[in-house]
A and B are shown apart, each in its own frame.
Chain A
Amino acid sequence: MATNKLQHFIVIDDSKLDCFIAEKVIKNTGKCESVTSFLQAQEALEFIKQNSLNSLDPIIVLVDIQMPIMNGFEFVEAFEKLPVNTRKNYHIYVISSSINDNDLTKIPQYPSVIQFINKPLTSNNLSALLAKDK
């Protein structure tokens, strides 16, 4: 589809290094309009509520699972309670180092989560994701 269109990205991960990696990988795709990282999920949620990006195009959200205070699942649950208009442009991907069955089976139960991605994020799996994302 719109292969050359630049996209907005949101990264939510309590590890600074993982945010840094994600930012780098995202920027290297050449398809990045902006990337905003959050170490805390609540802040990302607030950011989305305020519609800070004000974008009509899909915004890709990469969220980690295990985070203190508000973990990835809690974030998704809170996100799914937002009004449709607020959340319709966000495409959520869960990204984690988890190989725990409970986590992995839980992911498909969230309608708003498009896919699970293994850490670390690499340009290969990000490109594959962007190719499929519509």
Chain B
Amino acid sequence: MEKKIKVLYIDDEQNNLVGFKATFRFDYTVLVAATTEVARQLLADNPDIRIILCDQRMPDQTGVQFFEEIRFKYPEPIRMLITGYTDIESVIDAINRGNIYRYIKKPWTDTDIQSAIEEGNKFYLTNNLLALKNKELQSAYDELGKFAYSVTHDMRGPLLSVSGAISIAENCTDINEIKEILGMMDSAIKKLDEFITNVHDYYSMKRGQLVFEEINFNKTLNDCVALFRIAGTMEHISFLSSVKQDVPFFSDEVTIKIVLTNLLSNAVKYQRKSVTDKFVDVNIEVNQTNAIIFVKDNGIGIHDDHINNIFDMFYRATSEEAGSGFGLYNVKDALSKLGGTIEVSSKLNEGTSFKVTIPQKANGNK
């Protein structure tokens, strides 16, 4: 059920207020004020007021003056002036200074008011939608700016490194040193590749439609872990996992895989070299309403100073290892698409634990 439209009515005649409230209280949430003083307080306390109706002739202030004053502080509510006087001057004033949406003549009929409120509400909703779209556009634009910036570093950087390494290798006669250079070139290229994969994830999430299907977490997790088996073996990291799923679970598998691979990748990447019992532990528990995923490691951990920023685009909390600052941003983005959440707890030099909650998409096919 849609919430009732919140309307503020201002009139110095108590009878009018009572009458107005009595007539419209069933259809709308009605707030009334006998003075503009009270009205200002109500506006401050009720940011969800959508329509303001104000009488023109009041002792302390005219309706036009009131609107002129509040329209900058409260630009969102739709303003309507009610008056028994039909002098053209006040109409012009109301439009030019008070920037009102409607002008209602006294005595009004219920239908006048009702249709004015309905129309005003539509206008309010359209304005709000526009503001929302503008905000989205702005954030997309900001992201694009960040993105363009990082392209120079994250894509051009490894290429220039490789190019520099090639010119050194050309003048080098020691085969072992050349091999060492090749190894470093290889990791620069892998880093670039990882960045490109992340960019791909990012755009497939931005553009792609979600496909809700039944998820077998055992299989999904195995697919993801498989990507890190080799790296894990080489670094002597043991993978532990447990999956408890007795009920069918519906969600978008591609998006869940983006979450899992990024968290696993970090857990593998940010290990402490000195530790002998390196591990990555994944626990998944599925119930009727949620899937809860824990990804735990005993790696380098995250410093308190950085923990609030780790989900920001291109934020990197450590200079150890090759991070692009893209991974956790994508995780957060993916989860917001699924309506899920993520929490992190971490201790420097002890390890990090992520808790992901993904809601069940109750109805399988959409």
- Cα A69 to Cα B318 with chains together (Å): 7
Interface centre among A20, A25, A68, A98 (most CB of B within 10 A): A68
A100 CB to nearest B CB, Å: 5
Contact B319 A69 (CB under 8 A): yes
A62 CB to nearest B CB, Å: 13
Is A108 among interface residues, defined by CB-CB distance under 8 A? no
Residue-wise, chain A 15-30 has the 8 Å CB interface mask toward B (1 for contact) of: 1111011001100100
Closest to A69 in B: B319
Contact B152 A100 (CB under 8 A): yes
Is A67 among interface residues, defined by CB-CB distance under 8 A? yes
- Cα A98 to Cα B154 with chains together (Å): 10
Contact A97 B149 (CB under 8 A): no
Residue-wise, chain A 54-79 has the 8 Å CB interface mask toward B (1 for contact) of: 00000000000011110000000000
- Cα A14 to Cα B321 with chains together (Å): 9
Contact B187 A68 (CB under 8 A): no
Is A122 among interface residues, defined by CB-CB distance under 8 A? yes
B166 CB to nearest A CB, Å: 9
Segment with Cβ contacts to A, from B155-163, B194-202, B239-247, B331-339: B155-163
A-B contact pairs, 5 of them (CB 8 A): A15-B188, A25-B168, A28-B171, A120-B167, A121-B164
Neighbour of A21 across the interface among B168, B171, B317, CB < 8 A = B168
Interface centre among A17, A40, A69, A121 (most CB of B within 10 A): A17
Residue-wise, chain A 65-105 has the 8 Å CB interface mask toward B (1 for contact) of: 01111000000000000000000000000001111101000
Given A21-B165, A100-B152, A68 and B185 contact (CB-CB distance below 8 Å): no
What's the interface size class on A, roughly? Answer: 20 to 34
Number of A-B contacts (CB under 8 A): 71
A21 contacts which chain B residues (CB < 8 A)? 161, 164-165, 168
Residue-wise, chain A 30-62 has the 8 Å CB interface mask toward B (1 for contact) of: 000000000110000000000000000000000
Would you list which residues of chain B between 280 and 339 have a CB under 8 Å from chain A?
306, 316-319, 323, 325
Residue-wise, chain B 168-208 has the 8 Å CB interface mask toward A (1 for contact) of: 10010000000001001101100000000000000000000
Is B153 among interface residues, defined by CB-CB distance under 8 A? yes
B165 contacts which chain A residues (CB < 8 A)? 17, 20-21, 120
- Cα A54 to Cα B237 with chains together (Å): 43
- Cα A100 to Cα B154 with chains together (Å): 13
Interface residues of B, dominant DSSP: helix
A10 CB to nearest B CB, Å: 16
Contact B184 A20 (CB under 8 A): yes
Interface centre among B163, B316, B319 (most CB of A within 10 A): B319
Contact A122 B167 (CB under 8 A): yes
B184 CB to nearest A CB, Å: 4
A28 contacts which chain B residues (CB < 8 A)? 171
Contact B157 A68 (CB under 8 A): no
A106 CB to nearest B CB, Å: 13
Contact B323 A18 (CB under 8 A): no
Closest to A40 in B: B319
Contact A119 B160 (CB under 8 A): yes
A98 contacts which chain B residues (CB < 8 A)? 152-153
B149 contacts which chain A residues (CB < 8 A)? 100, 102
A119 contacts which chain B residues (CB < 8 A)? 157, 160-161, 164
- Cα A100 to Cα B152 with chains together (Å): 7
B167 contacts which chain A residues (CB < 8 A)? 120, 122
Contact B171 A120 (CB under 8 A): no
A68 contacts which chain B residues (CB < 8 A)? 316-319, 323, 325
A99 contacts which chain B residues (CB < 8 A)? 152, 156
Given A40-B319, A69-B317, A120-B164, A17 and B153 contact (CB-CB distance below 8 Å): no
Closest to B153 in A: A66
B168 contacts which chain A residues (CB < 8 A)? 21, 24-25
Closest to A121 in B: B164
Contact B325 A17 (CB under 8 A): no
Contact B161 A15 (CB under 8 A): yes
B185 contacts which chain A residues (CB < 8 A)? 17
Closest to B306 in A: A69
Would you list which residues of chain B between 137 and 152 have a CB under 8 Å from chain A?
148-149, 152
